[in-house]
Amino acid sequence: MGDLLATIQSHSNPGVSHKITLGKDGVIYCDCWAWKRNRKCKHLDEYYESISKVDQVTIEMDEDPMLSSDPSLENAVSDAIRDLKGN
């Protein structure tokens, strides 16, 4: 069997969940009948949606302008350099 990537709760049957797994062939599987029939299903869509949201959050954090242009941080760095030079 492949690696379990996620467990998606069924909307039509509360209490039922479907397993999203990555097979050794690189194919992402779902264990519901719709996937077996069409090789796609709403659980897989939900899984892709959940990982794309995680990516967006990561990009927002990387592009945070506050981190690169914090004047107090710049002052602290130049103070440290001055201390090192002994001035």
| Contact indicator for 10, 34 with CB cutoff of 8 Å | no
43 binds Zn ion (CB under 5 A): yes
Q: Considering the complex, what minimum distance in angstroms separates the CB of residue 43 from Zn ion?
A: 3
Interface pick for Zn ion out of 6, 18, 29, 47 (rule CB under 5 A): 18
30 binds Zn ion (CB under 5 A): yes
Q: Considering the complex, what minimum distance in angstroms separates the CB of residue 44 from Zn ion?
A: 6
What does 29-70 look like in DSSP terms, one character per residue?
A: EE-SHHHHHHS--HHHHHHHHHHHHHHHHHHHHHT-HHHHS-
CB-wise, 20 or 59, nearer to Zn ion?
A: 20
